[in-house]
């Protein structure tokens, strides 16, 4: 998988009195290598300073200085395994910041005006729009979500943010719910997350191993191992359900998801995926693909 200089994916801006979501094409800039089919695993880091340090430590051999200041969510591929069948795409999302109206709307990007959040009678606050975008669009594209508790005022604020996303998320439309990892420098109890199974398939914690005897990178080894373990679990689930997506599929689904989000209608990703791969008369193309997959499984050597 190769990546161009741009890494911005989704941003949220105001244009006069309107809210606008912008797709900067971050997924389109991540291209597969040659004819190899690649099914990226995705990780989202949410926080501020603690998030930034952890991201640098867990994926140290990447250009972390490359940033899109106006991007709400970016995408960076892990350069160490970019040419394997299942590369890692990791992103960062800063805690709520108001959009910068002075930057204007960029050219050459897809723009979606939020019909439900515009107009004098239904003006929505920034936090409301941000939470809705995270819960209804962003989280659906990630396998693992890392939330950094030290970037919140206290643990109660962490739970409050998560519960807001749970309340806003569409029910039963996610193909595979992401796995949530809460990273903290102090013990964190999962009792603060009641009723989150509708949004996350699993929630676990990881404690920061702060010690003067450990190197900067070694302090985050436990977090990296946790992320890789959770990614493996998600990949096995997706493989079993046969819902592995290449970046071209994710690009198309992003467009569909933002269309539904702008119109305040729920999105069924499974149904949307079928629209891009319709069943032809006699099911010929699908039968050919089924036979190809079965042959590959029969002839593949045992591990």
Assess if residue 107 is contained within a domain: yes
With contact defined as beta carbons under 8 Å apart, do 172 and 197 qualify? no
Q: Does the pLDDT at position 187 exceed 70?
A: yes
Residue indicated by tokens 């643990």: 155
Domain that holds residue 165: 8-299
Average pLDDT over residues 262-269: 80
Q: What is the pLDDT of residue 98?
A: 57
With contact defined as beta carbons under 8 Å apart, do 193 and 162 qualify? yes
Assess if residue 225 is contained within a domain: yes
Assess if residue 3 is contained within a domain: no
Give the CA angle between residues 202, 161, 151 to the nearest 5°. 95
Assess if residue 283 is contained within a domain: yes
- Determine the Cα–Cα distance for residues 69 and 145; give it in Å rounded to an integer: 21
Assess if residue 165 is contained within a domain: yes
Q: How far is CA 143 from the centre of its chain?
A: 7
With contact defined as beta carbons under 8 Å apart, do 118 and 99 qualify? no
Assess if residue 15 is contained within a domain: yes
Assess if residue 102 is contained within a domain: yes
Average pLDDT over residues 191-206: 85
The strand pair at 30-31 and 144-148 is best described as unpaired
* Structure token pair of residue 21: 């979501």
Assess if residue 1 is contained within a domain: no
**Mean per-residue pLDDT over the chain, rounded:** 80
| pLDDT tens-digit map of 98-129 | 556 556 777 888 999 998 886 544 456 778 88
Residue indicated by tokens 């599929």: 249
CATH code assigned at 192: 3.40.50.2300
Q: What is the pLDDT of residue 13?
A: 85
Domain count, the chain: 1
Give the CA angle between residues 74, 81, 134 to the nearest 5°. 25
Give the pLDDT band (50/70/90) at residue 173: low
Q: Does the pLDDT at position 210 exceed 90?
A: no
Q: Does the pLDDT at position 95 exceed 90?
A: no
* 231-240 contacts, C-beta under 8 A, 24 or more apart: 231/41, 231/43, 231/88, 231/143, 231/144, 233/179, 233/202, 234/41, 234/143, 234/144, 234/176, 234/178, 234/179, 235/41, 235/86, 235/143, 237/176, 237/201, 238/39, 238/143, 238/175, 238/176
- Determine the Cα–Cα distance for residues 265 and 268; give it in Å rounded to an integer: 10
How many alpha carbons lie under 13 Å from residue 114 in its C-beta half-sphere? Answer: 26
Q: How far is CA 39 from the centre of its chain?
A: 14
């Amino acid at each position: 998988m190769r990546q161009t200089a741009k890494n911005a994916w989704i941003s949220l801006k105001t244009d006069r009195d309107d809210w606008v979501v912008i797709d900067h094409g971050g997924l389109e800039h991540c291209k597969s290598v040659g004819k190899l089919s690649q099914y990226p695993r995705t990780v989202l880091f949410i926080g501020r300073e603690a998030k930034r340090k952890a991201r640098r430590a867990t994926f140290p051999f990447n250009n972390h200085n490359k940033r899109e200041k106006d991007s709400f969510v970016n995408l960076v591929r892990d350069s160490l395994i970019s040419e394997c069948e299942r590369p890692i795409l990791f992103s960062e999302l800063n805690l709520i910041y108001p959009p910068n109206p002075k930057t204007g709307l960029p050219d050459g990007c897809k723009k979606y005006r939020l019909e439900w959040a515009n107009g004098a009678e239904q003006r929505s606050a920034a936090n409301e729009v941000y939470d809705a975008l995270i819960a209804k669009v962003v989280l659906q594209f990630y396998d693992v979500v890392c939330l950094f508790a030290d970037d919140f005022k206290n643990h109660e604020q962490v739970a409050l943010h998560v519960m807001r996303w749970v309340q806003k998320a569409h029910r039963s439309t996610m193909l595979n719910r992401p796995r949530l990892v809460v990273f903290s420098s102090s013990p964190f109890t999962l009792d603060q997350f009641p009723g989150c199974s509708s949004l996350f398939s699993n929630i676990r914690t990881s404690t920061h191993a702060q010690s003067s005897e450990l190197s900067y990178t070694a302090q985050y080894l436990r977090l990296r191992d946790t992320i890789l373990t959770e990614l493996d679990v998600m990949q096995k689930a997706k493989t079993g359900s046969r819902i592995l997506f290449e970046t071209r599929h994710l690009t198309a689904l992003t467009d569909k998801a933002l269309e539904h989000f702008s119109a305040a209608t729920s999105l069924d990703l499974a149904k949307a995926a079928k629209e891009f791969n319709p069943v032809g008369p006699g099911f010929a193309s699908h039968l050919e693909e089924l036979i190809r997959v079965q042959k590959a499984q029969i002839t593949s050597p045992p591990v």
